[in-house]
Amino acid sequence: MFEARLVSCAVFKKVLEAIKELLNEASFDCSESGIQLQAMDISHVSLVSLMLKSNGFDKYRCDRNITMGMNLASMSKIFKCANNDDTVTIKAQDDADIVTFMFESKKQEKISDYEMKLMNLDQEHLGIPETDFSCVIKMPSAEFARICRDLSQFGESLVISCTKEGVRFSTNGDIGNANIKIAQTSNFDKEEESVTIDLQEPVTLTFACQYLNHFTKATPLSPQVQLSMSDNVPLVVEYVIPDLGHIRYYLAPKIEEDEN
């Protein structure tokens, strides 16, 4: 028996929004420690790693580890039927082939049940090595989303270069070039609005805008985003979901073509 309950289903809705553009379907691994998801997009360029810790739920019970393969578009349809302040309960029997979502309105006067068929999905678990990153940037998530959106109008690739002066985002395309430079903030009054750079050595990497724009769909989950980069390893974009866990995106860099 698996049961997980969240008083506000808004978070869950946001999580879905944050992954459904990259993944069509995904396997949620439920265990005592929480709900986990790890999946690559179809072209194997990016990876989503989601962790929702069991102690972040208002009620959580998982007798046996189960894996639930879900179609995210269908799941999203179901969550569209719920209000943000509804309480959501996710239930499944061990070895079940359906999952139940129950939404209770705030005043408890309305209860809706949705059953969804589970899917059998091929799963590939990737081992992600622990990396000491050359630079770790923390910045307001909305700012990062804005930069990705603005610059993606100019070109397909975004160059992120991080030095001790700050972070430079740049792109070039048919109409010309665009550059945005962000400096570390000195004022620490509002942590949420600050930009901090933890730099071991300068790094410059190129990424496909398209994927970054998918990642920034997670912006509503967290006021801050953390970008971790090292030469020749994938970028990690992390959003902390307050009290519940995190969502991390990994993105393989674009590399310069060697002579074939």
Q: Which residues make up the interface to other proteins (CB under 8 A)?
A: 27, 40, 42-47, 67, 69, 97, 120-129, 156-157, 206, 208, 233-234, 250, 252-257, 259-260
Give the nearer residue to other proteins in terms of CB position, either 132 or 257.
Answer: 257
Q: How far is the CB of 194 from other proteins (least distance, A)?
A: 30
Q: How far is the CB of 98 from other proteins (least distance, A)?
A: 13
Give the nearer residue to other proteins in terms of CB position, either 146 or 168.
Answer: 168
Q: How far is the CB of 58 from other proteins (least distance, A)?
A: 30
Give the nearer residue to other proteins in terms of CB position, either 157 or 219.
Answer: 157
Distance CA 48, CA 206 (A): 19
**Can you list the pairs that 116-122 forms with residues at least 24 positions away whose Cβ atoms lie under 8 Å?**
116/70, 116/71, 116/74, 116/75, 116/78, 118/68, 118/69, 118/70, 118/92, 119/25, 119/69, 119/70, 119/71, 120/69, 121/25, 121/26, 121/27, 121/69
Q: How far is the CB of 207 from other proteins (least distance, A)?
A: 9
Q: How far is the CB of 52 from other proteins (least distance, A)?
A: 21
Of 63, 193, 53, 42, give the one whose Cα is nearest residue 124: 42
Interstrand relation of 34-40 and 25-31 (parallel, antiparallel or unpaired): antiparallel
Specify whether the CB–CB gap between 70 and 99 falls below 8 A: yes
Give the nearer residue to other proteins in terms of CB position, either 44 or 149.
Answer: 44
Specify whether the CB–CB gap between 197 and 164 falls below 8 A: yes
Give the nearer residue to other proteins in terms of CB position, either 92 or 244.
Answer: 92
